[in-house]
Structure 1
């Protein structure tokens, strides 16, 4: 069969994406390794700089040093720049790759898809970039304004400090990075609605993904005309938020080490934060080292699922999880076709979802096994850290600070794989589909 030059051109950026992000990571590590970036220039530089750069570009938030005390304002500014570049790159990359995948289905398929979904076409690349930039800037500016005012008037920060803290945490929140300028993350502000709620809104917005954000912000789309992707992302996000809120609250409400001493209003707010942050962002509303095993397991599940596609969230993504769930449900009911919202889901999409999920399971399993070999920590904490790294979440039970260098390399590999791997693998699978001109005889192995 002849090579398709257009398809080859589409696959080229998919292959070059990891190299581009690796280049940004190395540049960031070089800047963070400068003596001017650290409060104590004699401190170890290379490994903390590289780990922090990987975490920032992959918008994760895991750290081996205290962001508030280890880095100077210059170093913190470098981290913020890496977060912004990483978040913007991920959103545009994922959206453009989605457009590339759609382009590969042919003109007739594009016309049908666009008429049914009211989505963008491949010719809108420039407008996509500007829309992503405008949406990011709008959410970040609004969040920064609220946080700055709160830090200034309620916590007696001077205007410059308040503006810096407000801007840093707004960008970190919308990009789902989870970096904070406080040694205890946001635990000290867990009961302040003017801090927690704006950050939660920014986290959720960034985690929905650009296609969903543009559809919701544009308005005028009736509920019955929502695309399958829009339905899965919005309803799935709501479902996970409600379930996470109920479970987190039930497990931590009376626990003396976490929510127990708080008033009811503080408990509700901390529970909301504990539901939103672990899914994508990585800020802490409680000390996870003191959390119950049930909370750690619930958080593991939320982190692994993650947020919406083509956004700053990590994990295998809500759509992947729900497509597999619908596939299982239809198989149980004996249906040979998977349908969602009166639309059929092709077998190729189901195979892609299964591939992404199983590759995620394999990555977390290998990472957890290596961390068990390299450290003396228990399985629950090691598993928590591995999922947090792979899902680019950033919450931690506190063991990351004390990990040996080889364990830090494992987490860096998980962060990079979780951020870049899921997008490129899913896109490469969609772009490399070659229909066979023949069918082999079928055979059914015994399953189960």
Structure 2
């Protein structure tokens, strides 16, 4: 752990910075890139930052500009960033040193994954790692079935593992120069990637809650009810995917999806409704999308994934509370409810603060980029 003078939030941030810098150094090694003279230090820094923060933005083509060693380093950074550096490091300590977790560790894990300090860290860590590796392994196997038809077995296996991890960790890195456009009609690839993104974006606490829902029962034999958090996450996720699949199908019907079979249009629309919030894969040419479609994509990017997940954004729960707040203003009611439950004032205050901070940072960032990119 870092010195006690650092707060929990500072320790999390500094851990990410340290891993990013280490990743930058490793990616800058001659053995990490196909053509070392073309991959500059700033490119390595950008790639490492994007991988650890599971953003998916790239300035160099991952599949051609980096060697197998470089791709493996990027995959490792994605995995560490997706799991959470503190989760990863503490799991290693527990697994190989038998270290007992103290209350500070509990706080660190709860801060980075949105759990409660009283949750047993060892149990939580084991669940997170098991859930992650299980999803990625099944996803890699399914992807291999499709990739092996077009690539040699060894390369197909690497493609499957890389894309499975990138999808579950909501990173969006691809070894294909056109992302998944070449597989937009492949049902197995599309649904596997979509499901991995959703599972990674739901959050580890939701997974734990769902697991207990199916494996544990009340003393009277009835199933326990899902927590309010899980119900909000699931309801919001399903609603967003359902609504915006239809929206994108309508907006791009005569544009990027013109001439495609109905199955391909539905698969492309489904992926468009899922990837902007978390991952970044694409099965249609993003540069050819209409302006209104791009605006909708930006809106979904802002929402992001769910608390305690591998994705970013203001989170689905924050968005749900903001919608409930706006709906209460429309009805002119003082009581703000979500799924039949009143929202406490402190939660509302945090939600509004997060939304305002996101809007402010976005506006300032756009202004800075406009100045820097001006001719």
Normalising by the smaller structure, the TM-score range is 0.7 to 0.9
- Give the equivalent residue in structure 1 for 2:208: 214
- Give the equivalent residue in structure 1 for 2:126: 130
Q: 1:74 and 1:196 mapped to 2: Cα distance?
A: 27
Matched, 1:69 2:41: no
Cα deviation for residue 166 of structure 1 reads: 0.3
After TM superposition, the structure 1 = structure 2 runs for residues 16-415 of structure 1, keeping only pairs within 5 Å, are 16-89=11-84, 92=87, 96-97=110-111, 102-103=116-117, 121-122=118-119, 124-152=120-148, 154-155=149-150, 157-220=151-214, 225-255=225-255, 258-376=256-374
Cα deviation for residue 193 of structure 1 reads: 0.7
- Give the equivalent residue in structure 2 for 1:433: none
Cα deviation for residue 218 of structure 1 reads: 3.0
Q: 2:329 and 2:262 mapped to 1: Cα distance?
A: 44
RMSD of equivalent CA atoms: 2.3
Cα deviation for residue 224 of structure 1 reads: 8.5
> Which SS does the other structure have where 2:57 is aligned?
coil
Aligned 8 A contact 2:110 2:116 in 1: no
Aligned 8 A contact 1:67 1:180 in 2: yes
The runs of at least 4 aligned residues of structure 1 exceeding 4 Å deviation read 90-95, 98-103, 221-224
Cα deviation for residue 332 of structure 1 reads: 3.5
Q: TM-score, normalised by structure 2?
A: 0.87
Q: 2:269 and 2:295 mapped to 1: Cα distance?
A: 16
Cα deviation for residue 336 of structure 1 reads: 2.9
Count of aligned pairs between the two proteins? 348
Q: TM-score, normalised by structure 1?
A: 0.74
Aligned 8 A contact 2:142 2:188 in 1: yes
Cα deviation for residue 44 of structure 1 reads: 3.9
Q: 1:191-234 deviations in whole A, cap 9, x for unaligned?
A: 11111110100000000111111122333378993322112110
Q: 1:180 and 1:188 mapped to 2: Cα distance?
A: 12
Cα deviation for residue 99 of structure 1 reads: 8.0
> Which SS does the other structure have where 2:38 is aligned?
coil
Name structure 1 gaps, 5 residues minimum. Answer: 1-8, 104-120, 378-448
Aligned 8 A contact 1:94 1:309 in 2: no
Q: 1:353-409 deviations in whole A, cap 9, x for unaligned?
A: 1111111111111111111111149xxxxxxxxxxxxxxxxxxxxxxxxxxxxxxxx
Distance 1:158 1:99, change over 3 A: closer
Q: 1:46 and 1:278 mapped to 2: Cα distance?
A: 28
Aligned 8 A contact 1:207 1:313 in 2: yes
Cα deviation for residue 268 of structure 1 reads: 1.1
Q: 1:251 and 1:300 mapped to 2: Cα distance?
A: 15
Q: 1:181 and 1:287 mapped to 2: Cα distance?
A: 16
Distance 1:247 1:75, change over 3 A: same
> Which SS does the other structure have where 1:42 is aligned?
helix
Cα deviation for residue 275 of structure 1 reads: 1.3
Name structure 2 gaps, 5 residues minimum. Answer: 88-106
